[in-house]
Amino acid sequence: MFWTPSAPASAWVDDPRTPALVHEHHVRAAAARGPGHVAPAWIGVSFAVGRAGRRRTGAALSAWLRGHEHLRSSLVPAPGRCLRRTLPACAVTLRQEDVGVFADGASVRRQIEAFFDRNARPLGWPHVVFATVHGADGTTVFAGADHGVMDGYTLAMIPGQIRDALEGRAEDPAGPTYLDFGAEERNLIRRLPAGPEHTAPWRTLLGDTRGGTPAFPLPLGASEVPDTQRSAYRWLLDGRAAAGFAAASRAAGGTTAAGLLACLALAAAGVSGERHLSVISLANARPGMWRSAPGWFVGLHPVRIPADPGADFAGTVALAAAELRRRAPGPGSSLPHISRMLRREIHPRFVVSYLDVRRVPGTPPQPGDTMLRSRIHGPAEVYVWLTRSDRGVHLSVRFPDTAVARANVERFVRAAAHTATRAADGHRAEALPAPA
């Protein structure tokens, strides 16, 4: 089944709240490409909800959608700005489409992917659509959304919220919403202290790369012309090993995030001889009062971690922890603000993101919940997503679909995994009592 939000044209009302900088930038970039340009860039999540019938599932999806006003809103590009229009919750319904019965999962996946490609777009409305698969084992829900209204943190919250709605436990979201954040963001930025200390880390990072953003430390065999990107997935550490790795990172004065960055730095040094890991880090940038709000709250941070080929894990973790402490989370770390602050466009090429889904507010994710993303056409760029859950640490990476990139990204990931495993095993060995 496909489920598409719908509303009468007469229900839309003008909304004076200004958009978040990153969402406005996203929409204006899509408008500049033109309505005929098709470049899917949605993100999504799939999760099982047991033996929920279609009527009950549809009611839960409707209740969830109506409860989040930023999903009932749209930005309309206009000269020099974007105009916001918003729907009242009562105006939103879900249109159902019975797609059919399929004998294999691959056919279902192709149908859902094409549906998300067509409908989860930056321009127009809706920004989020759903598909459900009803099989012998129960119902699986797929949600796909334009990236402009969601980030990975939001995706991790969705399964628990919809499961709560199915069980009648859904509550009206409390506190300010993403639309309120957009209106407040500029005030927050104006109150930030001004000074070169905010631009110096970025200028250092960009100076090291001769004006560009950091690149992946090995050749990719790709041009700067957007081309097909490939994805790879790997469990770096299972649950028990992840606990040992976290303890080893703490013993070195850092967090799991610092420990994983140390592994990437040591991997870069080992496979390429680079003496620094230079990368742009993505992080949750929600101010405190928006901690539970869905939306796109992502901050960019320059990261530069020294690591010689012979450096040890503990020392590199300490350096990574110091680097993470220097970065300032919050609205001053959005891509448009950084570009304005530096007076130049920033185009990230090598990016690392870390998300601990165990810290997401609300009903926690379940082991089978899976984050999704569209197929991407991009230039010579590499994105690495590291996710910590009760099951362990999972790595997802996208990169140019060339033979050179496939081989070199695999070398890099294998080296990082080896370092992480050694750190976890070493801590477990230290924790064991010495033989009598």
Task: Tell me the C-alpha distance between 92 and 289, whole Å.
Answer: 27
Contact 3, 129 (CB under 8 A): yes
Task: Tell me the C-alpha distance between 380 and 228, whole Å.
Answer: 10
Q: What pLDDT does residue 200 have?
A: 85
Task: Tell me the C-alpha distance between 358 and 390, whole Å.
Answer: 7
Q: Which residue has the tokens 């279609």?
A: 54
pLDDT tens, residue by residue, 180-202: 998 889 888 888 766 676 788 88
pLDDT tens, residue by residue, 33-62: 876 666 788 999 999 999 998 999 999 999
Task: Tell me the C-alpha distance between 244 and 230, whole Å.
Answer: 31
Q: What is the dihedral sign for C-alpha 45, 46, 51, 57?
A: positive
Alpha helices in 273-368 (DSSP H): 313-326, 335-342
pLDDT along the chain (436 residues), means of 10: 97 96 93 75 95 93 94 92 95 96 92 95 94 94 96 95 89 82 88 74 83 91 85 95 96 97 96 93 89 92 90 96 82 89 91 94 89 88 96 96 96 97 80 43
Contact 346, 203 (CB under 8 A): no
Task: Tell me the C-alpha distance between 424 and 197, whole Å.
Answer: 36
Q: Is the peptide bond before 126 cis (omega within 30 degrees of 0)?
A: yes
